[in-house]
Each structure stands twice: as C-alpha cells, then as structure tokens.
Amino acid sequence: MATRKHKNFEFAGFSGGKDLDGNNFQAFGAFDTPNGHAFAVVGNDRNDSAEGRLSDIVLERLKYYLEIEDEADPAEAVRNALVYVNGYLHTLGRKNPDNRPGELSCLCALFRDRKVYYAWAGQVCLQLFTGRKLVPLSWDVFRDRPDDDTGRPWEMAFLGAEQFLNPGTCKQPLEPADGDLLILGSGDYCLDPDEKHIRKVLSDNMPTHTKAQRLVIKSGREEEEGPAAVLLVGFYNLGQDTRSFLPGEAPAAARPTGKEEKGPSGPGPLGMRSLLWKALVIIAAVFVVYMVYDMFFFNPRPARNIELVESPADTLATEDSLSAAGMPPQEALSGEPPSGQEPEPPAAREAGASPPALPADREYPVRSGDTWGSIYREFEVCSWFIRNHPPNAGKFDRSNNPVAGTILAIPVMYSASQGLNPHYYTEFTTDKVGASCQHANRAFLRRFEESIRR
C-alpha cells in the first residue's frame, strides 16, 4: 500500500509470504475509531488446509469493537479489544473446527492525544526507532499449562487458544517525538530480526511503504517475501522534542484476575488479599535481610588474581556502550569440551520413551558491576535466552542489561556447561549458537524444542 499521510503521522504497511494455495496468513490494517487511530498487524501460523480468513476476521473484529465501544481510557480500550477478539475466535472454533485458530497472533496500537497505547498476544513485536537506536517495546506473552514432555509449565499465548486471555499491555503510553518511527511486525520479521539491516533501511530516505517492503523481503530467503507483516508509523508536527515511554509488560498467565467467589472451604477475596499482603511483607523483610547480609557479611571465596577470558556474551552489549567504554573486539570461545572428554550428543531414547528432563532454572541475584559476560562465564547461557525467559520479563534496563538488586532466573536448560545441562549441553556450544551468540534467537529455540520432542 502507498504511504498515507495525516496531520501528525504517516503510515504504510506490507505483508508477504503466501502458502501453496495462495493464502496469505499475515495481514495489517489501519482505521480511525472513537478511541483513536488504530494500527494492527496479525500473523497466523496455521498447520492445516482450512481457509486463511482468520487474519481478516481478527482485523474486522478489532475494528468493530473499537468503533462500537468508546472508552475513556485508551489503554483499556485496546486491551479489551484483544480480549473480545480472543473470546470471539474461541467461540468460533468451538462451533466449527475448521475455524479453530492455530498460532494466531495480533498487535494493536492506538494513537490518541499524541500518545500511543498498545496491547498484543502471540508472535508479534513492537519497536521504536529513534533515528539511531531500535528499542523493543514488547515481549512474548505466555500462559500457564500443565507440565509436558519438555518440562516447561508455560507456553506462548495465542488468540483463541483458550477462553480467557491476558494480553501484554503498555506500562506507560509512548509519547513519541518528532521524527520517531514505530514498527509493528509479525511472523518471520519478529523471529530472527537483523537489527543492523533494520536500522539501515529505516535511516534511508526512501518512501515509508518501500521501507516496509524491504523489511518483509529481508525476513524471507533468497530475496523472497517472508511470511511476515510490517506496519510503519512515522510521527511529525507533534511539537515534542523528547519522547517518554516504558517498555510493555507481558504477563505470565492468560487467565485475567476478576471477581472471586467464596468457596465452601476457601477464603473469599478479602481473605486472599490479606494473605497476599502478609506474604509480600515477609518477602520484603527477607529481601532486606539478604541484602544486608550480602553487602556486609557474605564473602564466598577469598580474593585472587584470575585471567580474564573473553566470552561470546560480552559482544551482546550495544554498539554505543562498547565504543563508550573503549572495549576492543572480543575473541570467540572455542566451545571445546574439557581435555580428555568427547562431546556427547543429546541423550538418545527409544521410540515412545520420554526425553530426559530439562534442568530447573537457577536463581541469580545480580550484583553491582555484573555484565552479560560475567554471567555467561558462570552459567554459559547466552544473554538472549535469559532476557527472553518468561520469569525475567521486565527485569532489565532500557538497554536490556541486568540491573543490580534483581534476581534473575537463569534457564540452564540452554547452557553449554555439561555440569549444569548434562543431556543437552552440546546443543548450545559456540559452534551451534555462534562465537558471539549471534544465532541465539526464537528460530534457534524453536528448532531445539522440536528436536527434543521427536
């Protein structure tokens, strides 16, 4: 589509990657509503031959809700719109199995009073380009599930998969500055983004619709259009030289909290709040005691001189921070096993047998001066796996670096250390994830999860 210009913004979108039947399951839309101007991208990774109309249905239902329901709070409007669409799709799938959604994702944003409110679910991504930096504003949304053969009690939350959905929402609306560019993406664009290419395209003077097309084509292979959708929104004439925002918040569970009914043997809502408050007070007291102990009494081992070894994770710092610190390029770790040991493949199993259990997370309290490099040396887990691990959502600064005083859940199931990850450590050595962990992404993680299920 050609670039559409308005008083304070312009936008353009592009979608690509059709299946053998000519269906395109990636879509985008933009429309004006009483709640503000709405922008949306939809991705549908279907695994059957049913008609590919669900992406269009999502856009139709979003528009219907936002045009009918005029809400005072735009943040509630965009969140409730996704909740409504989720319920509609769930009911549609129950009535007609052919319309049962597969991995259906959606990201919706509202521009109102020079602010952007947004909510999302599934495999989508929202980014802000400031002219120099590309800042992520959303993360994957997960929902609880019973333990399965992967040993993980959660999975990504998609539209229509369950009756209830708790979508990701913005903690604080984005107040863009003149010249800012908002990127709404779905599909392959979000799976394995090439940030250097994205910044290069967005910095060019080409028309906005050409930029969107270039981003979608790059997400494919051999210059073909990838199964992706990209919608770009550029802002101007706002009279704002500075921007204000907080990254979005992705909840861990899908079922929203609501009115609780008193059961025959359980406490009512007031009792539950009282218990929760007491638990929070106890946790806070324990945390204060731990911090005092850690700062003044704890000394795990005497000081000693060590030889610094550069690790792949050190190169994950931003280009700006590396140049500011004057850090030289880093050498790759060899990924060789200890002397005298041969690398072992993931444990083989007989047909029908359960795969070996994945190791549980390790808690790590971040201390002052910690970097991704120091954390990698201890756990041999690439920072991408830690930053995108659901229990760690919202625990990093704006540059996605660890914050002193927080407690991270280290997913040692992705560790290259045989001692921490005895069955699968060879899958995460540097020859697999890359010398600088450049191959650690959602596509890599999906291939690993599929391999252990086989």
- Average pLDDT along the chain, 454 residues, taken 10 residues at a time: 86 78 77 95 66 80 93 93 92 79 88 94 91 87 59 70 86 91 91 86 92 84 70 92 71 41 36 62 77 56 43 44 41 41 47 75 90 90 89 82 90 92 90 84 83 74
Euclidean distance between CA atoms 41 and 120, whole angstroms = 10
385 class by beta-carbon count within 10 Å (0-12 exposed, 13-18 middle, 19+ buried): buried
Look at residue 310 in the predicted model and tell me its pLDDT.
45
**Model pTM above 0.95:** no
DSSP E strands: which ranges in 225-272?
Answer: 228-235, 244-246
Residue ranges covered by each domain of the chain? 4-246, 312-335+344-453
Look at residue 35 in the predicted model and tell me its pLDDT.
94
Look at residue 40 in the predicted model and tell me its pLDDT.
96
Q: Could you please state the CATH topology (level 3) that the domain comprising 4-246 is classified under.
A: Phosphatase 2c; domain 1 (3.60.40)
Residues 6+ apart with CB under 8 A from 61: 84, 85, 88, 89
Look at residue 289 in the predicted model and tell me its pLDDT.
73
The proportion of the chain whose per-residue pLDDT surpasses 90, expressed as a percent, equals 32
Euclidean distance between CA atoms 313 and 428, whole angstroms = 13
Alpha helices in 69-106 (DSSP H): 74-95
